[in-house]
Amino acid sequence: MTHSNIKNKLLLYIDGSLNQTDASEVERHLPQCPRCKKHIAMLSEIWKNKPAIDKFTAPPFLWTRIEAKMSNPVQNLSSGGLSYSLRITTAVFILLIAFFIGNYLGKLPGSETKSPANFSSAEYITRSYHFDTFQPISEESIGQAIILTSYQNK
């Protein structure tokens, strides 16, 4: 094992979780590597430092609080999954309203778009240059535009 492999196994060595082969490799490496030797001393001190581990005591009036929460299931629901599902429902509802408003506005008189078949050739060419027509410019219209421009230039 290389130094980089061994340094990540120091905690396992301290804890006695390494197998015999790996443990003896670590033992062989330690006298040659002052860095690992230093790390192992520090790690074993902090890892075995059990007295510093605090035990938390249960919050006061736990039973009273639980009893209150159980007798008021509405509060219990609102703090959990309901708020999340409510948010999703609201988002879907807003999207639906936006869709219907858009659809309604699109159907208002005057907002109809002419189909390309109903355009005069000049109008068709002009509209083809507009970015808001959403119509792909056909090769035919490009040809017409070239002819029209050359005709106007003459």
Partner 1 sequence: MKEQELLRKLISGNQSAFKELIDEYGSMVFNVCCRMLGNRHESEDITQDVFINAFKSIKKFRSDSKLSTWLYRIAVNHCLNYQSKKKRNRWLSFEFFSATESGNIPEPVSNENLPDILIEKKETEIIIQKAINSLPEQQRVALLLHRYEELSYEEIAKVMECSVSAVESRIFRGKQNLCKKLLPYLNQL
Do 11 and 43 meet the contact criterion of CB atoms below 8 Å apart? yes
Residue 10 as a binder of partner 1 (CB under 8 A): the answer is yes
Nearest of 47, 1, 61 to residue 26 by alpha carbon:
1
Do 26 and 6 meet the contact criterion of CB atoms below 8 Å apart? yes
Of 76, 78, 121, 149, the residue at the interface with partner 1 (CB under 8 A) is 76
Of 21, 49, 118, 150, the residue at the interface with partner 1 (CB under 8 A) is 49
**Amino acid identity, residue 11?**
L
Q: Closer to partner 1 at the Cβ: 8 or 150?
A: 8
Minimum distance, C-beta of residue 70 to partner 1, in the bound complex (Å): 6
Residues in contact with 11: Cβ distance below 8 Å, sequence separation at least 6, in sequence order:
43, 47
The residue ranges that bind partner 1 (CB under 8 A) are 7-12, 15, 17, 38-39, 42-43, 46-47, 49, 51-59, 62-63, 65-66, 69-70, 76, 79, 81, 84, 87
